[in-house]
């Protein structure tokens, strides 16, 4: 099992983090970079931001992904453990996004879909090496399945 990519922390921060960060940055700029004066009225905002950051880091630290010849497994959770196993033959779509921003961090976004759900069953950020391994395993499994279906008896 490999830990997901550290860029996960950035994407696990909720939109509320950024909503709280803007007023704090504005207060620091308005106070002439007097950080102690700017933080006096922002104690609750800072506490919530620290909670959101720690929540994202804990999610990153306790999420693992692995791919073998049978399928993809994602284990997550610090207290409430959750394991998702998706066999290759149950996947309808395996999507690996390598957009320019994520590629700067040598990462790839993995999304796995199946017939039972319209949303992605698995969403994770993984290293490019893990993404390549998943692609190779999926291709090998697909080739085995198509060979089995095309066999004439």
pLDDT at 71: 87
With 0-12 / 13-18 / 19 or more C-beta atoms within 10 angstroms meaning exposed / middle / buried, residue 118 is exposed
> The whole model's pTM is what?
0.74
Over the stretch 124-152, which tens digit does the pLDDT of each residue have?
999 888 888 888 887 777 666 555 554 45
Report how far Cα 23 is from the mean position of its chain's Cα atoms. 27
CA separation for the pair 44, 52 (Å, rounded): 12
The helix (H) or strand (E) run that includes residue 113 is: strand 107-114
Q: Please report where in the chains the tokens 């994770």 appear, as a residue.
A: 124
The Cα-based distances of 140 to 20, 60, 87, 145 in angstroms read 47, 29, 13, 9
Over the stretch 28-48, which tens digit does the pLDDT of each residue have?
777 777 777 767 767 777 788
């Amino acid at each position: 099992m490999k830990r997901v990519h550290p860029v996960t922390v950035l994407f696990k921060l909720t939109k509320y983090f950024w909503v709280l960060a803007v007023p704090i940055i504005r207060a620091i700029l308005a106070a002439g970079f007097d950080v102690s004066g700017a933080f006096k009225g922002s104690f609750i905002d800072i506490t919530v931001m620290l909670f959101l950051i720690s929540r994202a880091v804990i999610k990153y630290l306790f999420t693992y992904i692995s791919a073998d010849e049978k399928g993809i497994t994602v284990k997550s959770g610090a207290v409430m453990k959750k394991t998702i196993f998706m066999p290759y033959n149950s996947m309808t779509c395996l999507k690996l996004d390598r957009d320019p921003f994520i590629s700067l961090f040598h990462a790839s976004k993995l999304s796995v879909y199946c017939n039972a759900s319209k949303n992605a069953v698995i969403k994770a950020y993984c290293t490019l090496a893990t993404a390549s391994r998943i692609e190779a395993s999926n291709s090998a499994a697909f080739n085995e399945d198509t060979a089995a279906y095309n066999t004439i008896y």
